[in-house]
Amino acid sequence: MSGEKTVETRGYPLPAKYAGKPLAIIETPGPTKPRFKARIVGVITFSHSMQYKTYAEWDADRGRHRVPANDPALLNPGKFLLTHHFDAVLLKSARRASDQ
């Protein structure tokens, strides 16, 4: 949500029905912040997907997807991830200090 990441990495293509449509960004608390329920923290619009053809291509794009090379959920051998390209991101106003 800092703006450093410009593509979202997934193992499936962006469904065509979602391209160009505003979608909610939902934050979930996870095990470390159980003080709140899931909440919408912004809206994102994706334009398209692209599949990396090689690991080297994926690795060279690290500045945009921001996934660390040692991420355990990263790649299955022979199956390269796809990126979903952002068109726009609109964040909700700053959260209350008690929610952070």
50 falls within a domain: yes
Amino acid at the residue 87: D
Which has more pLDDT, 23 or 76?
23
Structure tokens at 11: 């193992």
| CA dist 23 → 1, 43, 68, 97 (Å) | 14, 5, 25, 25
1 falls within a domain: no
39 falls within a domain: yes
Range of the domain at 33: 7-94
2 falls within a domain: no
2-13: per-residue pLDDT in tens? 677 888 888 788
**28: pLDDT confidence band, cut at 50, 70 and 90?**
confident
73 falls within a domain: yes
100 falls within a domain: no
76 falls within a domain: yes
Amino acid at the residue 72: P
| CA dist 95 → 9, 15, 17, 41 (Å) | 26, 31, 31, 9
15 falls within a domain: yes
Please tell me the distance from the alpha carbon of residue 46 to that of residue 33, in angstroms, as a whole number: 28
> In the chain, how many domains are there?
1
Model pTM score: 0.66
| CA dist 68 → 75, 79, 89 (Å) | 11, 17, 22
**71: pLDDT confidence band, cut at 50, 70 and 90?**
confident
pLDDT at 45 over 80: yes
